[in-house]
Structure formats: C-alpha cells, structure tokens
Amino acid sequence: MTLLIQASYLIAAVLFILGLKQMSSPVTARRGIVWAGAGMVLATLATFATPEILGSEQATTNIILIIIAIAIGGGYAWTSGKKVAMTDMPQMIAMYNGMGGGAAAAIAAVELLKATREAGHDLTGSATIGTTLGADVAILGILGAIIGTISFSGSIIAWAKLDGRMNRSRLLPSQHVVNAVLALVTLGFAVAIYFNADVSLIIVFFALALVLGIFITVPVGGADMPVIISLFNALTGLAVGFEGYVLGNAAMIVAGIVVGSAGSLLTQLMAKAMNRSVANVFFAGVGTGDSTAAGDGAAGVMKEIQAQDAGILMAYASQVIIIPGYGMAVAQAQHKIWELTQLLDEKGVKVKFAIHPVAGRMPGHMNVLLAEAGVPYDKIYDMEDINADFKNTTVALVIGANDVVNPSAKNDSSSPLFGMPILDAIKAENVIVIKRGRGAGFSGVENPLFFADNAKMLFGDGQKAAAELIQAVKEL
C-alpha cells in the first residue's frame, strides 16, 4: 500500500509539472488545467489510504471529516467559480491563494501543537519542539508557518484592495519601520518556540505573523497588485513545500516547489517589466494615498472626439493597435472590441492587440479576456514585440488602460511610475482613448498622454463606446 501511495504521488507530481508546462501557452492552457486537476484528484485519493488516515483508531471519523471538508470547499469553489465575473477574477485568485497559505499555516500549527504535547510528556523535561520533531523538520515547519500565515493575511488585504473594500491605504507613522520591528519580533518568537514547547508562545507567534502579513501589504499601492498576487502565490507554494516535508508527503513537496519556483520567476519577470525591484514594489507605495499627488504636473486640455469621427478615422486607417486595460474588463467590452476588429479587417485595416505585462489586475488578465471573446492568438502581441510598430500606426485605440501607456514613466523622474517600460501609444499618428471620465488611473497618477496633441478622448462606458464605433464603421 505504501508503494502504491508513493507511486500515486509521483504520478500526481508529474501531472502537476506537465500541467504547468501546458499553461505556458494560451493554446494549451485549458489542457494544462485539466492535467493538473487530475493530478490533484489522484493525490487526494491516495491520501485517503495513508496509514495516518486509514490506519488510525479514528479512521472512520477521519474519512468522514475529509469528505465533509472536500464537499464544503469543492462545492463552494464550483458554485462561486461558475458565477464569478471576469472583472472579479483577480480578487478571487487573491482569496483562493490566501486560502492555500492559510492551509499550510494550519498544518504547521497542528504539527507544532502536537510536538508541544509530546514534549510535555517527556519526564526528563529536556524535550523541545526542535528535539521532538528533529531540527530540520522543526525549522522548515516554523518557516512554513511564517510564510503561509503572511501569505494568508496579506492575500486578504490584496483581495480587499482589488474588491474596492480598501480604496486608499491608511498607513501608520513610519509604517516600514514598524514592519521591520514586527518582523524581527516575529522571528524572535519563531526561535523561542523552537527551544520552548509552550502553547502560548505558538499562539502569539501566529498572531504576530498574521499582523505582519497585513502590515507589509497595506503600504503596497494598487498599481502593484499584480506583482503582489504573484509573490504571495510563490510564498504559498513555498509554505506548502515546507509543510510537505514536515508531513513526509512527496506530492506536497513537489507541488509546492513547482508553484514556488514558477511564482518567483513570474514575480521577477513582472517586476522587470516595471523596471523595479520586488523590494521597491513593497516600499514605493505606487497607488497609495501618498503617491496620488505625483504626476500633477500634467497640464493641458483633453480634446474630446465623437464616436462617428473616431469610427471614420479607424475605418480608413492602414493599421490600428488596440491597447486593452482593466476598464475594458469592467465594461465587459471585449466582445464588442472583437466585433469592431472583424469589421476593420473586412475593410482592409490591419489590427493588432498590444498587451503590457502588468495590464489588468493579475498576470495574463487581458489575454484571458481577449481569448474569451475569440480574438486569435496571432493578433495579440507582447510589449517588446509591438512597441517599435507604433510609429507606423495610424490609430492607437486605448480602452480602459492608463498607467501602461503613461509617458511620464519615461520622461518625468518625479513620477512614481518613472522607469517602468510602457506601451508607446503616444508615438502613433493618432491616439483615441475610451475612458469613463477625466480622472487618473488605478495608480492615481495623472497621464500626460490624454493631453497630447495627437490624442483625443472618447468618453463613456467602454461597451457603449465600442458599440458606437461599430455602428460608425458599419455606416461607411
């Protein structure tokens, strides 16, 4: 039975890796999700047969509790996954990622409390958590507890910001200093519980880690949420891998390492796309209440254009590049934009889509939206592949995007966005911006592009504006 369980875990691990590989391309992503899901089902079924579950005196109770937990969690995930709007997907990802970190932390808490109880039974009084579990298991278990707990509470804050429940960050005085002191105190308690099997120390340790996760996420600006989600995903994977080692579960170890490494790589790539370090993401606060004043130097008048005129301009263009952002997701305008693209194609206009690595509220958000609308993959270009093409473009159509086309990132050293690579929409012959109002974007930084000589604003809801453009093109 042990051999069968380990073989099942090995097959599950292979399915996880193959599934992740398939997810690297939009063409095979759906297949990758199915493969990884099959691996998770196999690992779960194998866990039912482990001696700790099936061979214990409470085997029946254990199995019933597991089935109830799977039914509750799986049922909720199934129903919420069916109902969730695409615009709410980022906060759902943040929440579910936090649950993964919380689960790893819960495993650590159970193992630490069990070790505390066993150490208390040692009549010599010399037993500690470190000696009871073994140095390697204890250290990795405690590290997994810290990382998982931080990921849990930090992901909840990320969810609150993305869901609009925390619109502006209210920082404590010297917030980063407070965070540094709190981190040191938390680590101090981590060392203390290694040498002292005391339940009260464990409780305080987890409470401090929860608060630390909240405090380090609060200063992070809304514009940096995609990076934070990716980072917490990596941390959750790392915590799961550590706790897998504590439990001796090969599937958890492999899955945790794969998720942790993939999440770490994605975090670095996204930070690089913003020309910033991960540390800068945590400490700069782009999108908090402190950074909104930056970029106020943008001056001028926004020139409005009517849908009829914009439609004529696009219908007679040689090339149109469409730049989608989160506003397109909010308006659920992706289907109308694809319909507009098809009309322009019929008129001989070359249409491309330009995607910034951090467009939207999570990695790949815009790609998912466009794929859902049926946009072919060969029309979708990454930033580095299309930026040189803007100078040969008649119209750059910006819908719901702001920060990823903000020229101040290149030419205003006082801007919080300075240094972040952007889509060079301003280099197009004409720029049409579909926007609901005249306010700044999610980062709170004003965009000089909207005042540029070659830029015109098409105000209104994204879907309504796209429908008006479609009608204008049809009438030609």
What gap in Å lies between CA 93 and CA 80, rounded to an integer?
A: 12
Percent of the chain, pLDDT > 70?
Answer: 92
How far does the chain reach from its first CA to its final CA, in angstroms? 72
Q: How far apart are CA 374 and CA 341, in angstroms?
A: 11
Q: Is the pTM of this model over 0.95?
A: no
How far is 191 from 334, CA to CA, in rounded Å?
52
Per-residue pLDDT reduced to its tens digit, 353-369: 999 988 877 777 888 88
- Residues 360, 330 contacting (CB under 8 angstroms): no
Please tell me which residue in 224, 290, 403, 412 is annotated as part of the active site: 403
Q: Catalytic site residue 403?
A: yes
Instruction: Say what the pLDDT of residue 82 is.
Output: 87
* pLDDT-derived band at 185, boundaries 50, 70, 90: very high
Q: Span 68-81, mean pLDDT? A: 91
Nearest-angstrom CA–CA distance, 247 and 27:
37
pLDDT greater at residue 148 or residue 372: 148
Tens digits of residue pLDDT in 226-271: 788 889 999 999 999 999 999 888 888 988 998 899 889 888 888 8
What are the structure tokens assigned to 75, written together? Answer: 């049922």
Task: Tell me the C-alpha distance between 11 and 229, whole Å.
Answer: 29
Q: Which residue has the higher pLDDT, 218 or 169?
A: 218
pLDDT at 194 over 50: yes
* Chain length of the chain: 476
Cα separation of 194 and 142, whole Å? 8
Angle subtended by helix axes 59-83 and 89-120, to nearest 10: 160
Least confident of 16-25, 200-209, 349-358: 16-25
What pLDDT, in 10s, does the model give residues 381-436? Answer: 999 899 999 999 999 999 988 888 999 888 887 887 788 889 999 999 999 999 88
Token duo for residue 102: 């919380």
For residue 294, what pLDDT is reported?
41
| Confidence (pLDDT) at 389 | 95
Give the single-character DSSP code of 131. H
Tell me which residue of 298, 245, 336 sits closest to 444, measured CA to CA. 298
What's the whole-number mean pLDDT along residues 137-157?
93
User: Directed axis angle between helix 89-120 and helix 225-247, to 10°?
Assistant: 30
Q: Where in 118-219 does DSSP place strands (E)? A: none
Q: State residue 143's pLDDT score.
A: 94
User: How confident is residue 295, by pLDDT bands cut at 50, 70 and 90?
Assistant: very low
